[in-house]
Amino acid sequence: MEEWAGAAFLNADDVIGLLDKCCCITEVKGFAHSTKYDKDNFVVQVELSNQTTRLWTMNKTSARNIMKELGSETKKWVGATLELSVQKMIVRGESKNVVIAVPILKKPELVKIK
């Protein structure tokens, strides 16, 4: 993840400050290794509803939510709109605010029958 040193990463405070708590995936960056925790993290770039761009280290809960609705082919995630929320979770033994995402699926258009 050192290649993105200095980049702005999405955090719970970013989401709490949004009026419209959603974002759009603009780019799938892929996996990056965190030397701090010695694990691979999945990173995407998102544009928030306030037009701010952030990198986001996606957590497992959000990844499962997205895969359930959009599939596991991550290239197809680009352009997807996500509803964001902040939940308290235990992370490495500490209670922390965590960003959780769920895809917003477009409702099918109604077709008039003649």
pLDDT one digit per residue (tens) for the chain, 114 residues: 455 555 689 999 999 999 999 999 999 998 776 666 666 778 999 999 999 999 999 988 999 999 999 999 999 999 999 999 999 998 889 999 999 999 997 655 556 666
Give SS3 for 15.
helix
All structural domains of the chain with their residue ranges:
2-103
pTM for this structure? 0.81
